[in-house]
Amino acid sequence: MAKAPRPIRHLVVPDTQIRPGVPQDHLDWIGKALVEYKPDVIVHVGDHWDMASLNGHEEPGSAPMEGRRFADDIASGNAAFARMCVPMEREIKRLAHGHRSRWKPRKVFLMGNHENRADRCASNNPKWLGTIGSDQCDTRDWERHRFLEVVHIDGVAYSHYFQSSHSDRPVGGEISNRLSKIGCSFVQGHEQGRREGNKIMGSGKTLHGLVCGSAYLHVEEYRGAQGQRHWRGIIALNSVEDGEYDIMPMSLKYLCWKYTGMRLFDYMVKHYPGGDWVHLK
């Protein structure tokens, strides 16, 4: 009797928010997890390039904007994206030349509002057209999708976030409210932490909703002292079929222990002495 094909697996990489000077060790762990779990589909939900130099929430010339450069934002983001991808690329190449089953995942990158800062800057001030733009974000051989474009894969709708049908504001609230307004299983980034839920329909079908917007180690100052201890990590969706799946979150705490044998807080204190890493305890 023939063995049934392996169930489809998606792996979701939430917002990585790369900018010059932030630690990026977790990208090595994510890269190793991609190789180990070999998903059929990988979706990065956006906001990899933080674009700190184009932060419209800070005043030009203010202390937070001191020394910020668009070229540095692009260079650091490109290097970090490569750091995450290279282990997977090597494994794909190795299997292609061997006698084992080949691995050819679909790789999807969804532009976030932070990448869109560059396009908005050029649109608002046309003198920067051709000089500033998200086209400089090197996503390698991944599919690229425009900011807020919705991509449907195996019955799951992916977008950086979902807009209200009557405004340009994101759909918010509890997962049940979002499922009612979005109308299908969905995954989005944009919001820190992890929020998940499901809704059983009259047909017997279960819709799933997942919000996950943080896969980084650093502090985001705008969230204040009490807003830093949110969940951070990646998420595997197993047995994906027609919008239903089994969820398997993997926090950065878990990935650090799995691939370094150390507690995350201890790892950061050892490798970045003098830093304040209490939010990772």
The CATH number of the domain holding residue 254 is 3.60.21
Is residue 117 situated within a structural domain? yes
Is the pLDDT assigned to residue 259 strictly greater than 80? Answer: yes
Is the pLDDT assigned to residue 198 strictly greater than 50? Answer: yes
Is residue 63 situated within a structural domain? no
Q: Is residue 107 a contact partner of residue 150, using CB atoms and an 8 Å limit?
A: no
Is the pLDDT assigned to residue 59 strictly greater than 80? Answer: no
Predicted confidence band at 196 (pLDDT cuts at 50, 70, 90)?
very high
Is residue 1 situated within a structural domain? no
Sign of CA pseudo-dihedral 248, 268, 13, 94:
negative
Is residue 4 situated within a structural domain? no
Is residue 88 situated within a structural domain? yes
Q: Is residue 264 a contact partner of residue 25, using CB atoms and an 8 Å limit?
A: no
The mean pLDDT value for 121-139 works out to 85
Is residue 159 situated within a structural domain? yes
Q: How many domains does the chain have?
A: 1
Q: Which domain holds residue 212?
A: 10-56+69-280
Is the pLDDT assigned to residue 3 strictly greater than 80? Answer: no
pLDDT, position 63: 45
| pTM of the model as a whole | 0.93
Is the pLDDT assigned to residue 61 strictly greater than 60? Answer: no
Is residue 64 situated within a structural domain? no
Question: From CA 84, how far away is CA 140, in angstroms rounded?
Answer: 11
Return the number of other C-beta atoms located less than 10 Å from residue 52's C-beta: 24
Is the pLDDT assigned to residue 107 strictly greater than 70? Answer: yes
Is residue 2 situated within a structural domain? no
Q: In degrees to the nearest 10, what's the CA dihedral of 270, 274, 280, 281?
A: 80
Of 83, 14, 10, 20, the residue nearest 45 (C-alpha)? 14
